[in-house]
Homo-oligomer: A and B are copies of this chain.
Amino acid sequence: MKHRIMSRSVGALVAGALAWAIAQPAAAADAPAVSYPKGYRHWTHVKSMVIQPGHGLYEAFGGIHHLYANAGALRGYQRGRFPDGAVIVFDLLEAKSADNTIQEGARKVLGVMVKDTRRYAATGGWGYEGFKGDSQTERAVGKNAASACFGCHDGQKAQDYVFSKMR
């Protein structure tokens, strides 16, 4: 919110903040930070995909990505509803094309979805974060989950806000 706040007049700020607070579920403003998913490299590999130049999501998600599920998320993929504690990781790496192969390069971002119905009520019961590159602390989403993540995931409500399916 910081940059938006600083560019507005105080009157507009107060009015805007009030309208926003009324419109949002109580948990939205102070949704706790999503933790780095330690150990995810040993979770179950759900599926993979390459997004190439020319794709509408290339700027955000271009490269090769792998999805990983913890035990709770595995149950969610099977049942269609994810229990609290489910964690899905979106591991996005550069896709390096050479000699008629595509190979994995450096990590671009590690996306994380954590199910907690109460804490993340404002965004479908899921908390969202992205960790930049190989960092476990540099956050790409922060307080912007509603616009940066849920804006798209909201369309997947019938699948409990999850795009991927277990291969």
Hey, which bits of chain A sit against chain B, CB under 8 A? 41-42, 44-45, 47-55, 58, 64, 66, 68, 99-104, 167
Q: Contact check: which of B49, B100, B104 meets A54 at CB < 8 Å?
A: B100
* Residues in B whose Cβ lies below 8 Å from that of A41: 44-45
Q: Do A66 and B48 have beta carbons less than 8 Å apart?
A: yes
Distance of A59 from chain B, by nearest CB (Å): 12
| 10 closest residue pairs by CB, A with B | A55-B100, A50-B102, A45-B45, A54-B100, A52-B100, A42-B44, A49-B103, A51-B101, A48-B48, A104-B167
Q: Is A50 a contact of B167 with CB atoms below 8 Å?
A: no
CA distance A100 to B63 in the complex (A): 11
Q: Give the nearest-CB partner of A45 in chain B.
A: B45
Knowing A44-B41, A45-B45, A48-B48 are in contact, say whether A100-B66 is a contact too (CB < 8 A).
no
Q: Which residues of B contact A102 (CB under 8 A)?
A: 49-50, 52, 102
